[in-house]
Structure 1
Amino acid sequence: MSTIGKPDFIIEELSESRLENIYFHKIILFNDAINEFSHVEDCLMKICFKTKREAKRIAIEAHNQGKAICYIGSLEECESIAEKLSKETLTVSIQA
């Protein structure tokens, strides 16, 4: 039995993961002492299209861990959303 096909599968899998890294970026929300939880949750629902439950989970994670991923998408999407979040006084960054 030949194992020639297995390395090809692994190479293809790595290529797909590299493509994902090119096309998908993350917006990181940082904890701050300025914004109230309700404002952060409202922004996450309105700007990042999160449900109330998701917004609450992200806000709590940012509060407890210092940061949380609040959006994943293309660079253009992330730039647009990060700009809107920044206008709402939230501290965010984009990560590849």
Structure 2
Amino acid sequence: MNQNPSEKTIIEDETKESFQNIYFSKVILFNDLVNDFGHVEDCLMKICFKSKKEAKKISLEAHNNGKAICFVGSLEECETVAEKLSAEHLTVSINS
């Protein structure tokens, strides 16, 4: 079976995306009116292992768009991160 290069690329991309979705989940941070940027950034650095620059970018994305991905990992890792962020009064969810 011969495939043209564009079909092969689409299939490889879909397979790669499916593979990543099976093994990785995402923690989504939601914007709220309670926490200030400093607290959110500190939590992202401490709990999600983000640099100051990454934490600021994620905080701004959540503020501007209502939500942002703040952590990607196994479901177990995401559950742990989400619990810790929730304990800091941040609003999060896990997408598998």
Common topology (TM > 0.5)? yes
Partners of 1:36 and 1:4 in 2: how far apart? 53
Q: CA deviation at 1:5?
A: 8.6
Secondary structure of the corresponding residue to residue 94 of structure 1: strand
Deviations 1:40-90 (A, max 9, x none): 000000000000000001101111111111011110110000000000000
1:3 corresponds to 2:8: no
Q: Where does structure 1 lack aligned partners over 5 or more consecutive residues?
A: none
Letter in 2 for 1:28: I
**Within 5 Å, which residues of 2 pair with 1:85-96?**
85-96=85-96
TM (norm. structure 2) is: 0.86
Q: CA deviation at 1:12?
A: 5.4
Quote the residue 1:30 is aligned against.
30
Letter in 2 for 1:75: L
Q: CA deviation at 1:3?
A: 1.9
Letter in 2 for 1:84: K
TM (norm. structure 1) is: 0.86
* Bigger radius of gyration among the two: 1
Partners of 2:81 and 2:63 in 1: how far apart? 20
Q: CA deviation at 1:14?
A: 3.3
Quote the residue 2:52 is aligned against.
52
Aligned length: 95
Q: Percent identity?
A: 62
